[in-house]
Structure 1
Amino acid sequence: MLEIRKCVVIVLLLCVNSIKCEIDDGSKQGQLVFAHVIYRHGDRTPVDPYPNDPYKDRKYWEEGYGQLTNVGKEQHYQLGQFFRKRYRKLLENGNYLRDFIYVQSTDVDRTLMSAESNLAGLFPPEGNQIWDNQIKWQPVPIHTIPEQLDGVLASKRPCARYTMAAKKYQKSQEFQDLLNKYKSLFQYLEQNSGTSIKTLDDAQYLYNTLWIENLKNYTLPEWTKKIFPGGDLQWVADRSFQVQTNTPELARLKSGFLLREMLDRFDQKIASKLNPDRGVWVYSAHDTTVANILNSLQLFEPPRSPPYTATVLFELYKKGDSYYIEIFYKNSTNENLSPLNMPTCGVRCSIRDFRRIYETVIPTESFEKECEVSLLSLTYEEVEYRGLDGSWLALTLLLLVVLAIVLMAWKMFQQERNMRWYHRI
């Protein structure tokens, strides 16, 4: 009898726990009020075939190099349909209105075209939005700026502090050990591909080209069988996506401005100051964008090359008078999403706690202030990381001193000559 009672108690506890787990299941708790979406473009052709590539001729890539394919268009059309279901209530039941959504893309053909394909699936015209019965599509604005001016999404705007921090990290013992570990692999790749392979990024670019050609069912050269698919080359390619944001300073200057922009917009939404009061903000970008944002938030484990249409969803929920964030990662196949576990916060996090947890990677100053480097404030070590050496610095300072002395002497000479001229008068 005692054993039966114990069993009943255990069953009841399991039931209670299962109910509690269901209640605590992230997005079931509150009302979704706003979402930021960051996705990678769809299937594309190789950006830059390697010198010994048997398929480097343009005849193999009718779309051109680095361009979205028909498969990529279809992938994003389907992703747009997924967004239509998930965010229908935030988008006035699926009708396009400019006050409910904003779409921003990097200034690259494949990301702009991906956004267009995505919006075709997201907003098929209905009712009075049908402008041609033969065309089930309607134009939706996509915003962009030149990459060299974009320090938020494309992250290509020059940033001296980031350049210096990247050189510092690449000279670290940890990074040098990693390069030395795969030195023989890099040499093998160089000898057979005809291109320089010195870094993890170099290896990743080559791997990506081989992967695309294999995906197109092209027969790869015999030498690739030793290193593709899988093995060390894939491992290196996957981990190359950590390099750009693998320290707090790198993360702050590469992904921090995008993070801050989204958080500030969440704050505006909560304070009813978002104008227009949109429900969804979309960013069309690249695999590096997706990987960098996840790695900056310590959510990129294990590191994997983000597949085509990989998407990070930052969603804002309201429960009573409280608001919290949940983050989801959608790869190319998973439809049922689970919120990611944020460090010390779990699957949901208030804006204040989120800012506290990630304060080292969220900028507090303007882009210009965060990125500036004052030569006089640099340590000797930082001068070296900036690509200078001590002798260069000493010579520069000496020249500045000499110049200052010459200017002072010239000024005194001018003053004395003027005085003599005055006395003659």
Structure 2
Amino acid sequence: MTHPVVLVGLFLVLAFQPPVDARAKRQVHDNTLELVHVIFRHGDRTPDKSVMYKNDPYINETYYPIGLGQLTNHENGFKMPEWAARVYPKIRHLAIMDYNVSTATSQLKRLSSVREFATRTLRRPNSYCPVYLRELVKALQSEPVKDFLKEHKALMEYVQENSGKPMNKLLDVFSIYQTLTAERTMNLTLPEWSKSVYPHGITEVAAKQCEIENSNAVLKRLNGGECRKRA
């Protein structure tokens, strides 16, 4: 029988686990809570170079001194852990007690300051699980997804024509969504062409990518396994 673990994440995962001696004294039942994930993002950021599109009016912007793909408001990055501790007081209790605390994040510079919030041990995922990727490709090539792409063909062609970036799959639209959202949160004026398809339209297609990434039991198990370091 495994023992309770509480995980808190924002593409950062904080793990709180009782010391061995404390766990040995506890009686664990079949209905004992074993794992909780609270996953959230790091806060608003500047546009990331990797998802900018050819005709982006801000493509040459360096966002100095913040830089590309960096947090614009560090305070927001700390609000979510504080919220989780307030809503789930046991998390704060575990952090205060002599419990093991570890973290895991994506390999992104913007996460470093947030990661330092309450970390003792750092565990970074360094690659995608190949089994997960194969399963994801199968899901993305399924007939329901093909039908969804056909239904949104006009929107994708419109975005491709105006953005200058090929729109062949859900992930292409998701990258446009990321860039437009980052620019909007910085109060930048979005290009005129985007007004008819963003946020409505582009958001729907982008959300489909996230849905497919967790669309069956295998994907859910492997996607969640990244947090637990086992699947």
**TM exceeding 0.5:** yes
Given the alignment of the two structures, is residue 211 of structure 1 paired with residue 214 of structure 2, yes or no? no
1:166 equivalent in alignment to 2:136: yes
SS in 2 for 1:192: helix
Structure 2 counterpart of 1:238, which letter? Answer: A
Aligned residue in 2 for 1:88: 92
Partner of 2:172 in structure 1?
A: 202
Q: Deviations for 1:344-363, whole angstroms, at most 9, x for unmatched residues? A: xxxxxxxxxxxxxxxxxxx4
1:105 corresponds in structure 2 to 105
Structure 2: which 5+ runs fail to align? 1-31
Secondary structure at the counterpart of residue 123 of structure 2: coil
Q: How far off is 1:60 after superposition?
A: 3.4
- Using the aligned pairs only, state the percent identity: 30
Secondary structure of the equivalent of 1:102?
strand
- How far is the alpha carbon of 1:191 from its aligned partner? 0.7
Deviation (angstroms), 1:89? 2.5
Report the aligned-residue RMSD: 2.9
Q: Is 1:234 aligned to residue 203 of structure 2?
A: yes
Q: 2 CA distance for matches of 1:223 and 1:165? A: 35
> Post-superposition shift, 1:181?
0.7
Distance 1:235 1:61, change over 3 A: farther
Q: Distance in 2 between matches of 1:235 and 1:192?
A: 18
Q: Specify the code of the residue in structure 2 equivalent to 1:46.
A: P
CA distance in 2, matches of 1:33, 1:251: 17
1:3-402 to structure 2, matched below 5 A, reads 37-48=38-49, 49-60=52-63, 62-69=65-72, 71=73, 73-85=74-86, 86=89, 87-92=91-96, 99-116=99-116, 118-119=117-118, 140-145=119-124, 147-148=126-127, 156-157=128-129, 159=130, 161-230=131-200, 232-256=201-225, 258=227, 261=230, 363=231
Q: In the TM superposition, what is the alpha-carbon distance from 1:61 to its structure 2 partner?
A: 5.2
Does the aligned pair in 2 maintain the 1:105–1:144 contact within 8 Å?
yes
Pair 61,32 (structure 1): closer, same or farther in 2 beyond 3 Å: farther
Checking the alignment, whether the CA contact within 8 Å between 2:104 and 2:227 is kept in structure 1 is no
**In structure 2, how many angstroms separate the alpha carbons of the residues matched to 1:220 and 1:35?**
38
Counterpart AA for 2:216 = T
Contact 1:46-1:209 within 8 A present in 2 as well = yes
Q: Which residue of 2 is the match for residue 134 of structure 1?
A: none
Confirm or deny: 8 A CA contact 1:105 1:142 kept in the other structure.
no
- Partners of 2:157 and 2:64 lie apart in 1 by 28
Secondary structure of the residue aligned to 2:110 is: helix
Structure 1 residues 242 and 61: CA distance shift in structure 2, 3 A: farther
Q: Which has the higher helix share?
A: 1
Q: CA deviation at 1:254?
A: 2.9
Partner of 1:59: helix, strand, or coil? coil
Look up the equivalent residue of 2:113 and give its one-letter code: M
Shift of 1:54: 0.9
Q: Tell me how far apart the structure 1 counterparts of residues 48 and 38 of structure 2 sit (CA, whole Å).
A: 25
User: What secondary structure, in the 3-state scheme, does the structure 1 residue paired with 2:40 have?
Assistant: strand
Residues 107 and 144 in structure 1, CA contact (< 8 A), matched pair in contact too: no
Number of aligned residue pairs? 196
Deviations 1:225-263 (A, max 9, x none): 221232x212112222112221223333333454685xx
What amino acid maps onto 1:92 in structure 2? I
Which structure has the larger Rg?
1
CA distance in 1, matches of 2:222, 2:195: 39
Partners of 1:61 and 1:145 in 2: how far apart? Answer: 28
**Cα distance in structure 1, aligned partners of 2:208 and 2:219:** 16
> Structure 1 residues 175, 113: CA separation in 2 closer, same or farther (over 3 Å shift)?
same
